[in-house]
Structure 1
Amino acid sequence: MAEETGAQGEDTLPNGADNMPQVAIISQYVKDLSFENPNAPAVYQWQVQPQIDVQFNIGMNKAADEVYEVVLKIDVRAQGDQGVAFAVELSYAGLFGIRNVPEEQIQPFCYAEAPRLVFPFARRVLADAVRDGGFPPLLLEPIDFAGLYMQQAQQAAGLQQGEAAGQA
């Protein structure tokens, strides 16, 4: 049997022996969603707009060989002079297949690129939950997850250098 050759004459790999880096979203889903409206129905009579506090957290778990779950956790609390208007906690996850990617590149992908990919969907779920709670939809601004990851990596590197200097 003749060996197959590629467009430029190099040998191609047999089917299933691909060694090119591959990343794909297998699934995305709401892992946990909580909406609290502790001061209803009085909250709908309040005249002052509440202050909105938004917190983000990103987690990563290895679900199987070459499969990683990335969870984007968003906590929102709307606080007014008269109390809490609403509180929302959303854990939105993406299941990513990652093959032939160097180990040192998996963490940056899972903490920077993966959250960027699932964020628009988490944003919609959050906006719908707030709207379904009787409030105007909360539309979060896009987030620079790559910039945040780089900032945290630089801070961690600075702390490690400081600790190493303190031990010397």
Structure 2
Amino acid sequence: MRFSEPLATRETALGRLSPVAKLTAAMILSLALVSTLDPVAPAIALAGMLLVTPLFGISLSRLGRRAWPLAIAAAGMVLTTVLFTAERAGEPLFWIVTTGSLADGLSLALRLAAVALPGIVAFATIDPTDLADALVQQVKVPPRFAIGALAAFRLLPLLADEWRLLVLARRARGLA
């Protein structure tokens, strides 16, 4: 699966929504989750999002294939927080890992996933041409900016293909 393929078709409920509405909803949810410090709100938002996503015609396996860099970032955040935290509160678990640092790391990773996943779903279901049209018609941005956004969206698949060709060329030369 190419990284830039749309997750939802136009026949689904999410595919019929305006790109501006999708981006606005993702931004509101993300900003609300950034402002909270407890792990309960991101956990509820993430669970709700994962429960509702199949209703919009997006399978969880396709979403997982699209969001795997997010899982690596969350794991890195947990590891970094556990190993390099200044406060070592709680019971010691292993070497320098404590229950407090592990809880903090898991809370940050959960917040990262809950903040980033709405954006991943929103951008993965937006057609670039529809985005440019909606930016000009609904948000009243200058057409030059909308065409720039359209060009950026259309170049992403080309960059992925070029990267894949570079990897194959290095492999053919015996460098990879």
Q: Could you tell me the TM-score, scaled by structure 1's length?
A: 0.29
Choose between structure 1 and 2: higher helix proportion: 2
More strand by share: 1
Q: Using CA pairs under 8 Å that are at least 6 residues apart, name the structure with larger relative contact order, 1 or 2.
A: 2
Q: Structure 2 length normalisation: TM-score?
A: 0.28
